Amino acid sequence: MLNKYARAFFTRVLTPFAALLLRLGVSPDTVTLIGTGGVMAGALAFFPRGEFFWGTVVITLFVFSDLVDGTMARQSGRSSRWGAFLDSTLDRVADAAVFGGIALWYAGGGGDPVLCAVAIFCLASGQVVSYTKARGESIGLPVNVNGLVERAERLVITLVCAGLAGFETTFGVPYIGILLPVALWVVAVGSLVTILQRMVTVRREAAEADAGRAGGGAASAGRKAAGPGRDGAAATEQGGGGS
């Protein structure tokens, strides 16, 4: 849902900036690489030390590159399969850095093995959510379902709550640190539901596609079987008339 509405809004907001970068000679691929590098730096330099506020600030500055590079590609008419592949691949790298940084905090200074495991599950399930759609589409299915928690939802929930939780460690605001564990559990459960939604959708679409092929094959076989029968009947009538 967020991916549908928020992307359209921020794309309009960032369009002038994208046009400026194009005039300066910056390529969409360069923006993709810099954006991913910035997200990784913010997540892996700050999150493992529990500095969630500043880490979120840095990540937020770079995470919108995912919208800027696409807008640049459309404006310049340079959209390509390679650009789409690079963007999708590096999105997975950036997501892994965010949840990996949180997992490192709970494995170390955070001292919470359970939340470390939940963060790792969020990392892994996020990859699977993306894989289910990509794999379904690769075998010719539309995978016509959005799911409860997609990438936009995962990032917004996690980063907003991580940034707010950082107010406790950075500015001494009490009790607000609980928001990050809550966010991790929400993302973990939501990602699991989304995986199940996509698996059910792919199973239904695959069954419909297989049934359609089977029906088409049966009809074709029926036409072939009926064809010689009609020819044979015509030949028999012709033979009978001749005698």
Answer yes or no: is 29 a known binding residue. Answer: yes
Q: Does residue 91 have an active-site annotation?
A: yes
DSSP helix/strand/coil, 227: helix
Q: What is the 3-state secondary structure (H, E, C) of 67-125?
A: HHHHHHHHHHCCCCHHHHHHHHHHHHHHHHHHHHHHHHHHHCCCCCHHHHHHHHHHHHH
* Catalytic hit among 91, 112, 210, 231: 91
* CB neighbours of residue 149 within 10 Å: 27
For residue 69, say whether it is annotated as part of any ligand binding site: yes
Q: Is 44 helix (H, G, I), strand (E, B) or coil?
A: helix
Residue 170 annotated as part of some ligand binding site: no
Q: Is 31 marked as binding a ligand?
A: yes
Binding residue per annotation — 98? no
The answer to whether 36 is annotated as binding is no
32 is in an annotated binding site: yes
User: Is 118 annotated as contributing to ligand binding?
Assistant: no
- Identify the CA nearest to 172 among candidates 18, 9, 53: 53
Q: Is 95 annotated as a binding residue?
A: no
210 marked ligand binding residue: no
The reply, when asked if residue 30 is annotated as ligand binding, is yes
- A 10 A CB-CB count for 206 gives 14
CB atoms under 10 Å from CB of 78, counted, come to: 13
Q: Which residue matches tokens 């529990």?
A: 50
C-alpha torsion angle, residues 144, 149, 153, 159 (rounded to 10): -150
Specify binding-site residues: 29-32, 66, 69-70, 74, 80, 87, 91
Active-site residues, by number, are 91
Specify binding-site residues for Mg(2+): 66, 69, 87, 91
Specify binding-site residues for a CDP-1,2-diacyl-sn-glycerol: 29-32, 70, 74, 80
